[in-house]
Amino acid sequence: MNSSEENAVSAMSAGRSALRMGPAELVQAAAMARRFYLEGKSKIQIAEEFGVSRFKVARVLETALERDLVRIEIRVPAELDAERSDALRARYGLRHAVVVESPADTTEDAPDPENLGAVAADLLGELVSEGDVLGLAWGRSTIHMAASLHRLPQCTVVQLTGVYDAGTAERGSVEAVRRAAQVSGGDAHPIYAPMLLPDPATAAALRSQTGIARAFDYFDKVTVAAVSIGSWEPGISTVHDMLTDEERAHYASLGVAAEMSAHLFDAEGRRVGRDLGERCITVEADRLRRIPEVVAIAGGLRKASAIGAVLRSGLVTSLVTDTAVADYLLTESAPGLRPALDRADPDDL
């Protein structure tokens, strides 16, 4: 008997098997399936209604699936890629990974996907609970996210970093903090100061100012934070563009591959150039690591390797990105540990 004949016999057998269910059995199976899958009733409730055991109900529901009386479909919005999201979550031990479709232009010169902000806004709506403290770090992605917020439980919103340019504060992170607080109906604690200062003494003096000190006091209370990631290139890293050519060369020599909230990382997620933090108005890395939920919002192939580096740092727990970046991260060498869940500092390993 050849393979085509075997397939035909198999199909005939399946057909005869399906026909062995009599009409009463079919009607009962359909009714039980309706109660269970559509009406949300438990197997015990169904058993009581039909006067059978819950084990009988379980067998009937299983048979309904086998005989194709019930078909289960898992559907998510077209812009979300559930398979890549789950694979990325498992590979890096993330609490949440949300992968959206990349734009048509996925070259390394393409700008960051604009749809990440809206998806991240919806994710924050799920993660933030009433009474939480939400921290927002400077970044184009977090600014776009704040602009897309339409629902948020009442919470306190605090700025985690200074601004890229004090002269653009109204259009940047300060406005993002105000927007999030307005949507939630909670208090806002913005930081009216540049992210990078000329020297550590100036940065220390600013941190002691009343408004900035008040925001810093909230850092240990933050329960959910949203951050952006940049690669060490012009226009993609905030810190890179604020440094002199000599300073850029110095940090490049240390192997910097990524930047997040003015913290620099090498390709393995280890922090480098820690002296830069002394000149910055930003949440300290140790405090960031203690925040229960840190959501990174970053996409675009030009940031792919940088995103991988920050995921290895153990500082973030969740990621919103696009399919092009997800494919890159799923094919690069595995991180070994589950950095997002273990929150381990690579420098301590």
| Mean pLDDT on 13-26 | 55
SS3 of residue 231 by DSSP:
strand
pLDDT number for residue 229: 94
pLDDT at 183 over 50: yes
| Mean pLDDT on 2-17 | 37
pLDDT at 70 over 90: no
| Mean pLDDT on 78-83 | 78
Alpha-carbon gap, residue 191 to 213, rounded angstroms: 9
pLDDT digits (tens, 9 = 90+) for 272-321: 999 999 999 999 999 999 999 999 999 988 899 999 999 999 999 999 99
pLDDT number for residue 1: 45
pLDDT digits (tens, 9 = 90+) for 321-348: 999 999 999 998 766 667 777 787 887 7
| Mean pLDDT on 157-174 | 71
pLDDT number for residue 233: 83
Residues 286, 343: contact at Cβ < 8 Å? no
pLDDT number for residue 105: 57
pLDDT number for residue 335: 67
User: Mean pLDDT highest for which of 1-10, 160-169, 182-191?
Assistant: 182-191
pLDDT number for residue 190: 93
Label residue 120 by pLDDT band (50, 70, 90).
very high
pLDDT digits (tens, 9 = 90+) for 33-50: 889 988 889 999 999 988
CA atoms within 13 A on the CB side of 256: 25
| Mean pLDDT on 215-224 | 96
What is the spatial order of strands in the sheet that 258-260 belongs to?
230-231, 258-260, 263-265, 271-272
Q: The pTM is what?
A: 0.76
Nearest residue to 151 (alpha-carbon basis) of 196, 199, 183: 183
Label residue 242 by pLDDT band (50, 70, 90).
confident
CB under 8 A, 24+ apart: contacts of 268-274: 268/309, 268/312, 268/346, 269/309, 269/310, 269/311, 269/312, 269/313, 269/314, 269/335, 269/339, 269/346, 270/313, 270/346, 270/347, 271/313, 271/347
| 166 or 161, higher pLDDT | 161
Alpha-carbon gap, residue 290 to 181, rounded angstroms: 23
pLDDT number for residue 283: 95
Residues 99, 81: contact at Cβ < 8 Å? yes
Alpha-carbon gap, residue 140 to 60, rounded angstroms: 54
pLDDT number for residue 342: 79
| 148 or 23, higher pLDDT | 148
Label residue 166 by pLDDT band (50, 70, 90).
very low
pLDDT number for residue 336: 66
pLDDT number for residue 69: 83
- Bridge partners (DSSP) of residue 100 are 80, 322
